[in-house]
Amino acid sequence: MAEDELKTRIIEYVKNSKKKVAARDIADGLGLEHRVAKKAISELVNAGTLEFESFGGATFIKLGTE
């Protein structure tokens, strides 16, 4: 899978999710290895497309304010 396609699928997964999602939820939902998903998510966060949100020790992913 191409990197751009992977990032697009991650963004769509977060947009369509009805609950807060963690990196592992995204990896499991898209059938990816956890480290591959986490790397792509980190790149999207650095670009401002996604944001990390923490609640009591758990970190979730949400759409950025870009």
Q: What is the pLDDT of residues 30-64, one digit of tens each?
A: 999 999 999 999 999 999 999 999 988 899 999 98
Could you count the other beta carbons within 10 Å of the beta carbon of residue 13?
17
User: Tell me, what's the pLDDT at 66?
Assistant: 56
Output the pTM of the full model.
0.88
* Cα–Cα dist 63/66, whole Å: 8
- Token duo for residue 15: 């947009």
Please name the residue that has the structure tokens 């990896």.
Answer: 27
Give the three-state DSSP class for 10. Answer: helix
